[in-house]
Structure 1
Amino acid sequence: MALPGLTQRALKRITPQEIVDILPQENVNLATYIFDVLPTDIQQPTVSRVNINDQSLILDYHLRGKSRLAKLNALTISYLRRDTSYTNKARHLFHRIWREQGHLLVNELTTRWLISTLQTFLDHGENEAQRVIGASGYFYANLMKIYEGERSIEGRNQDTTYEDVSPQTPNKFPGLDRYNVGGTDLLLNTNALALDLAMRDDVAGLVLFELLLRVKATPNVFTRMDKTRKEKGISVPSFADTWSFFEPL
C-alpha cells in the first residue's frame, strides 16, 4: 500500500460518534438568525471539542459578535465532520443556509470559515458541481495558507515584492517547473479555472467567488507577482496580459 501512514489518517478523517442533537428543527426560520447577533464579551471556554455541547461553546467564543446564522453554519459543519445519527439533518440545514441566506452570510464569514464551508461542500455537496467547487476551493485556499505560512516563518512580509525576477535556487522536484516573474500564465490560468468552476453552481460557487475576491484584494503570492511586474516594468512577449486576474495594475 502506498503512503500507509497517511492512508490510516485518511480512513479516520470522519469517525463515528454518539452525540446529542442540539440543532434547531429542519424547518426553522433562518431569516431570524441573520440579524440575531452573538454577544461580543463571551469568554474563551476551557473545554475540548469532543463533546458537541462544548464545541458549541467554543464556536460561541470564536464567532462572538457574529450572527447566529454564522454560528449555525459552523455548528452544522461540526456535525458533518463527525459520523452521527444527525448527519442528514445537519446536511439539510447546511444546504438550506446557503440556498436561502448565503448571499447575506458569505460576506460576514472570516476566510477560515469560508474554507471550512468549501470543505463541507466537498464532502456533502448536493451535486457534482458543488463537490468540485468545494474541493478546488479547499485546496486552493489551504495551499495558499501553507505557502504564506512558510513565507512568514522565513521572515518575509506578505506585501513585499521580489528583488529577483528569476529562480535563484536549483530545482529539486523534477517536473515541477520554475518560472520568471511576468513570464508565465500559471497564476492567471489557476484563477481563471477556479472562477470557471465557481460559475457552475450558484450556491457553492458564491463561496469560492468570495474567496477569489479576497485573494484579489489582499497581499499574497498572486498580488505580489503583479506588483513586482508593475514596479519593474516587466512585459514578456506572449505573457504581457497574463496578470493574475487578467487586469493590469
Structure 2
Amino acid sequence: MGRQTGGRMHGEDGFETYPDGMRDLIAARRRRRAGLVYHEGEALPLLDVDLDALVSGLVPDQDPAPLPRGHSSFARKRHDLLPDFRGKPELCLLNALLIANLRKFNWPEQAPALFLRIWREKADLLLEHLNSRWLISSIITFAEHGPTEADRRIGQSMNVLFSLMKLYEYERQYSGTPSDEPFRIPGRAKGPLPLNMLGFQIVGGDLEANLLLDIVEQALAAPNAGPLATALMDRLNRDPRNIFRRFALMRHRLELMRLNREEAG
C-alpha cells in the first residue's frame, strides 16, 4: 500500500498510476459498455437463423455506403465492421456483431445463445476465415458467456494472456528492437521487478512453460471454447513475434555459450 498524504494515497514514488485507484477504471468501463441502440427495422438474426445461408452469403467486397443522419449505434457498429469482412461469409460478420453486443452491459435476448450456436456448429469455418484478432475477441467473449465453468475459465485465462501480451509487446516496440529479435544477453538492467518480484532463470526456468501448459490444460477441458482456444495456442506457438519465442531463442543462445565455455575449458 502507498502512504496517505493530504487525504490521498500515494505510491512508492509519490504517485499512483490511477489517481482514484480502481474507481476510475470502473467508471470508465461503465461508460464504454452501454448497450447498442437499435432503430426500428434493425435487429440481430433470430436464434434459429439458417447458418448455412450465412455461410454461402458473402459480405459485399466494396466500401459500405455512407450512413444516413441520425443512424443508430448498432448501424454505426455494423458499418465500421464491414471493411474487416469484405468478401468473407456473412457468418463472420455476424460473429463480430454478436461480440460487439455481448461486451456491453445489455444485449438482445438471443445474442448469447446465438453466439454459442455458431461456435458449436460452424467452428471450423470460423477458424478458417477469421484472423487472429477476431479469434481472440471470440475466445474472450466466452469468459462472460461460456455455458460451462470450464468454458468461462479458459476465456478469462486467454483474456489475461493476450491482453497482457498486447500491452507488453506494444510498449516493447518503443525499445527499437523488432518483435522477432531477442534482447542481447549482456547488458540487462539490474533494477527490481514490480512489487519486488524475483526474476527467473532463462535456462532451467519453467515459468512461461507452466503458464502456457495451464492454459492448454484448461482448453482441453472446455467443451465449447476448447477447439478455439487450442487453435489460438497453435497460432501463438508458430508466431515468431512474441515473448515466448524470444525466451526460447535466448535460452538456445545461453546453452550454446555454456557449451562453448566447456569446450574452451
* Normalised TM-score (structure 1): 0.83
Partner of 2:94: 72
**Is the Cα–Cα contact under 8 Å of residues 101 and 107 in structure 2 kept in the other structure?**
no
Q: Deviation per CA, 1:141-175, whole angstroms, max 9, x where unpaired?
A: 11111111011122111111232168423114234
The one-letter amino acid paired with 1:56 is: R
Partner of 2:27: 8
How far did 1:30 drift?
A: 0.9
Partner of 1:152: 173
Partner of 2:43: 22
Q: Are 1:115 and 2:167 counterparts? A: no
Q: Are 1:34 and 2:67 counterparts? A: no
1:192-203 alignment to 2 at 5 Å? 192-203=213-224
Q: Quick one: distance in 2 between partners of 1:147 and 1:103?
A: 31
**Is the Cα–Cα contact under 8 Å of residues 150 and 218 in structure 2 kept in the other structure?**
yes
The one-letter amino acid paired with 2:156 is: A
Q: Deviation per CA, 1:108-167, whole angstroms, max 9, x where unpaired?
A: 212211221122111111121111111001111111111110111221111112321684
Partner of 2:244: 222
1:35-114 alignment to 2 at 5 Å? 35-42=56-63, 51-84=73-106, 86=108, 88-114=109-135
Q: Which of 3-12 and 187-196 deviates more?
A: 3-12
Q: Percent identity over the alignment?
A: 29
1:155-234 alignment to 2 at 5 Å? 155-164=176-185, 167-219=188-240, 220-233=242-255
Structure 1 unaligned residues grouped into runs of 5+? 237-249
**Is the Cα–Cα contact under 8 Å of residues 166 and 181 in structure 1 kept in the other structure?**
no
Partner of 2:17: none
Q: Quick one: distance in 1 between partners of 2:205 and 2:238?
A: 21
SS in 2 for 1:171: coil
Q: Quick one: distance in 2 between partners of 1:103 and 1:132?
A: 22
The one-letter amino acid paired with 1:154 is: S
Q: Which of 44-53 and 103-112 deviates more?
A: 44-53
Q: Quick one: distance in 2 between partners of 1:46 and 1:170?
A: 53
**Is the Cα–Cα contact under 8 Å of residues 182 and 235 in structure 1 kept in the other structure?**
no
Structure 2 unaligned residues grouped into runs of 5+? 1-19, 259-265
Q: Which of 111-120 and 11-20 deviates more?
A: 11-20
How far did 1:35 drift?
A: 3.6
Partner of 1:245: none
Partner of 1:142: 163
Q: Quick one: distance in 2 between partners of 1:235 and 1:46?
A: 61
Q: Which of 215-224 and 58-67 deviates more?
A: 58-67
* Normalised TM-score (structure 2): 0.78
How far did 1:24 drift?
A: 1.5
The one-letter amino acid paired with 2:145 is: H
**Is the Cα–Cα contact under 8 Å of residues 166 and 179 in structure 1 kept in the other structure?**
no
SS in 1 for 2:225: helix
SS in 2 for 1:191: helix
**Is the Cα–Cα contact under 8 Å of residues 106 and 114 in structure 1 kept in the other structure?**
yes
The one-letter amino acid paired with 1:4 is: R
